[in-house]
Each structure stands twice: as structure tokens, then as C-alpha cells.
Amino acid sequence: MATEQISKETVRASSVREGSRVVVIGGGPGGYEAALVARQLGAQVTIVERNGVGGSAVLTDVVPSKTLIATADWMTITESAEELGIKTGADHFPVDIERVHERILDLAQKQSDDIRGRLDAEGVTTLDGTGRLGPTHDGVRTVLAETAEGELELHAEMVLLSVGTHPRTLPEAVPDGERILTWDQIYDLRELPEHLIVVGSGVTGAEFAGAYNVLGSKVTLVSSRERVLPGEDAEAAELIETVFARRGMNILAGARAAGARRTEHGVVVSLTDGREIEGSHCLIAVGSIPNTSGIGLEEAGVALTPSGHVQVDRVSRTTAFRVYAAGDCTGVLPLASVAAMQGRIAMYHALGDAVAPLDTRTVSANIFTLPEIATIGVTEQDIRSGKVDGAITRLPIARNPRAKMLGLREGFIKLFSDRSSGVILGGVVVARNAGELIFPVTLAVAHRLTVDQMAQAFTIYPSLTGSLTEAARQLHTERN
């Protein structure tokens, strides 16, 4: 973030008064959540959105992928069916992928329509078009919106950029929407990929590889690093690799894709070491590029990072007067929850309400592999390296009575606390529904609760959260 680079002039951008005009470019979570706050604070708000409100988060990224994974999640339940006394046969629950994909696209569109309805009801004007920053006249910002009816010039006391990103591709692996795909094209498939080659083993690649594998595709995961999910808790990533391998996934570690080409009936992915892998389809999941070029940012004095992201400070100000930015286009943390928070913070700040600057240390994140990996706060690596003076405890899920009843074996809970005060600093949950289970730890980190405070709270018996309080008790023992 660029706190030190924000000019003094921009400090005056706060306290824009009630009745001010706000224009938001981009209607994803960064944009539409901000628009709702701005309306609440009495501003006139226009969103310029070129694809559909809800943004990529709703139409192509979060909602579709998590809907896909919801089906895959049900399929994993069959893994412990026999143990639980449920009779299963070969191919007992065949997947109708056409129906799965239809449901995904339908649900995403309905979610976008719901958001549009809410924005309309709150009095936000939504313009279908492409926006870019125009010149400033007497301190008033202009936004030029290219719509079906022609170009409109909008005037605003404050502009929020929340233009998101688009999938990065490889020059030698050009997506064709049929065999070589980005994640926003895969739901158009009418048949389950027989052999899906996923290029990229970050969060997106791992989630898709895991889901299609469970749904019945043969999957090869091409990972340029030595293990999947680089940068995540090492033990969690190792566990996911073990689960993937048990389910039959082929993980090519330390393999960098050079390109992908179509064959008569499928694709061939070539690696930089000369190897070639044949499959039916290839999914490119190698990151995202911010949608920040060609929309007048540099001309307006909005500084970009070398990667093309918009520089912002902790209250979402850019380097340009009365221009704020939120979400993935800022490169702060690519999460819908963070985009929405940055957008709200921008409005609170610009419209003169009380505002707490963004604190990324309290952001929880979840990787929807099956099992899921949820994290919050400091990492085990921070503690082991001496960067943080913390205590660590770890409990395997398999020891939890509720997990035994549910037939869950794979996963663990880790809790990290400050060695002297006992304040909870972070945690990792690897389990089914870890994204739900992490919330008590998030609350503890956000409100600086101690391990004793967590340990003294009641959990349901039997429950998976019982392991959280047990971990907290263990950390108490360690401190005495």
C-alpha cells in the first residue's frame, strides 16, 4: 500500500457532504457494497458496470466456483458412506454435469439480479456501460460512461474505482472456450472433462482440480512449485496433496507449462522441460490482471504499481484528489470480503463518517478444497522464524468425537497465541466446513481475546468447535 505516497491534497477528500454525487466504476463487491453505504449516508450514487452487477465475484468467480464445489462436497460424503453404514455401488451417484453447470450459471445470474434489485430499491442508479476517468472541472471529477445510447459525462465529488481483474493467460495457451479454458468459460461445457489438465496450483487451480476430480474427471495438476498452494500453511498444503493423490489426482510438481494446443479430440500441454501431457481439456489458472489500463487513470494522477494495481492507503485513497479504489484492482488482498470492506471504508471516509482503516491482520480466508483450509492472523512460519513470540498448538480432527461420528479423519486445528499475554494471534482450520469453523478464531483475533477467554466459553458437545476450546486450554497449560 502507498500510504506515504498519498499527496497532502488528497487528505482534503474526506468530508464530502450529504447530497454529493458519487460515481462508482465497476459493480462487483467493492463497488456495490460501497454504493449502498454511500446511499445510506445521503449521497447520489451512480454505478457504471459493463457486464452485470455483482461483478466477476458473482457472475464468473466466487459464486460459480463455490456452487460447483457445493456439488463436489456432497460427493465427498460418499467417501465415508460405507463406514457410516450406507450401501454404495460403483457409480452410485453419477454426476449430470450439464445440470450442475446450468445450476451454477442460473444461480449466479439470480444473485446478480437480486443485487440489482437491492440497488434499485435503495435508489442507486446503475448504468450499463464502460466507465473511465475524465478531466476535473473546478474540483469536480468527471467520469465518461460509454453506453448503448452513447457517451455520457457524469459529474462527481467522489469517484470509486472498483474495476477488478480478468484472468491471466499464457501467450502459447490461448483460450478457445472449448478445450483450452479460463475459469469463466468452463461452465459452458456440456460434458464432464474426461481428463482435465489444470495449469496453476494456487488457490484457484487447486479448487478446480479438486472439484472436477471429485465429480469424476481424471485430473492432472501442473504445479510450477514443489508443492500445491505455495504460501499457505505448509502442513495444510501437504495434507491437501495427500488427499488429492488418494483420490487419484496426478500432481506434476516443479513443472512449468509452456503452452497448450488443441488436437483433434483434445489438448496437449507442453512443459518447459520438454514433456507433453495429453488431456481432453485444459484449464488455465495462472492468476489475474487488473482492469486498470485504458480508463484514464494515469492521466488523472492515479498512481499504479508495477503490476498495474491501483496504489491505495488504508482508507482506500488513491494518489488522485477525490478518487478512491477498492477490491482486486488495488492488489491488497484478492478476496470479495476485503473488496467490500475497502469499498465501505472509502465511502465512510469520503462522506465524513467515522472510519476504521483496513486492518489486513484480521482478514480470514478460506480455500474451498475438500477439506477446506481456513486461516486467520499470524502464521506458524511467523512464530517458528522468531518474527512473532508466539505459542503453537495443534489438534488432529480425527481425535474429535463429532468428527469420529461423521467419519471425518483428515484435517487439524492449529491455534497461535502470544506467549506472554495469551492473546490469540491466529489459527488454521483444515476440515470440512473450515470456512465456518474459523469464525470464533477470527472474532478472537479481531477483539484480542485470550486463550483463557476462549477456553471458558461453552461449545456444544459433541461438536468440531469443541477442538477449538480444547486447543485454547492446551495453550493455557503451555503458558504456566
Ligand X SMILES: Cc1cc2nc3c(=O)[nH]c(=O)nc-3n(C[C@H](O)[C@H](O)[C@H](O)COP(=O)(O)OP(=O)(O)OC[C@H]3O[C@@H](n4cnc5c(N)ncnc54)[C@H](O)[C@@H]3O)c2cc1C
Q: Which residues bind ligand X (CB under 6 A)?
A: 25-31, 48-51, 55-57, 61-62, 65-66, 130-132, 162-165, 183, 204, 291, 295, 327-329, 334-337, 339, 368
* Interaxial angle between packed helices 97-121 and 62-77, expressed in degrees from 0 to 180 and rounded to the nearest 10: 140
Residue number, 364 or 400, with CB nearest to ligand X: 364
Alpha-carbon distance of 316 to 22, in angstroms, equals: 15
Residue number, 369 or 467, with CB nearest to ligand X: 369
Residue number, 216 or 296, with CB nearest to ligand X: 296
What is the nearest approach in angstroms of ligand X to the Cβ of residue 198? 12
Alpha-carbon distance of 367 to 62, in angstroms, equals: 11
What is the nearest approach in angstroms of ligand X to the Cβ of residue 225? 19
- The H or E element containing residue 257 is strand 257-262
Residue number, 25 or 159, with CB nearest to ligand X: 25
Scanning 41-96, the segments in alpha helix (DSSP H) are 55-59, 62-77
Alpha-carbon distance of 135 to 300, in angstroms, equals: 7
Phi, psi of 432 (to 5 degrees): -60, 135
Nearest Cα to 432, choosing from 476, 470, 456, 400? 400
Which residue carries 454505478 as its cell?
A: 47
CB 395 within 8 A of CB 383: no
Q: Burial-class residue 123 by CB neighbours within 10 Å (0-12, 13-18, 19+).
A: exposed
What is the nearest approach in angstroms of ligand X to the Cβ of residue 149? 15
What is the nearest approach in angstroms of ligand X to the Cβ of residue 25? 5
What is the nearest approach in angstroms of ligand X to the Cβ of residue 161? 9
For residue 101, the SS3 value is helix
Alpha-carbon distance of 442 to 426, in angstroms, equals: 8
Residue number, 70 or 423, with CB nearest to ligand X: 70
What is the nearest approach in angstroms of ligand X to the Cβ of residue 33? 8
Alpha-carbon distance of 379 to 135, in angstroms, equals: 45
CB 398 within 8 A of CB 408: yes
Cβ neighbours of residue 369 closer than 8 Å, sequence gap 6 or more: 206, 207, 210, 240, 243
Residue number, 61 or 73, with CB nearest to ligand X: 61
Scanning 147-192, the segments in alpha helix (DSSP H) are none
Alpha-carbon distance of 295 to 34, in angstroms, equals: 20
Give the torsion sign (CA, 468, 470, 475, 476): positive
Residue number, 55 or 210, with CB nearest to ligand X: 55
What is the nearest approach in angstroms of ligand X to the Cβ of residue 64? 8
What is the nearest approach in angstroms of ligand X to the Cβ of residue 51? 4
Residue number, 159 or 192, with CB nearest to ligand X: 159
Residue number, 205 or 466, with CB nearest to ligand X: 205
What is the nearest approach in angstroms of ligand X to the Cβ of residue 325? 9
What is the nearest approach in angstroms of ligand X to the Cβ of residue 45? 15
CB 197 within 8 A of CB 282: yes
Residues 276/281/286/289 CA torsion (nearest 10 deg): 130
Residue number, 181 or 351, with CB nearest to ligand X: 181
Show the CA angle centred on residue 238, arms to residues 241 and 462, nearest 5°.
95
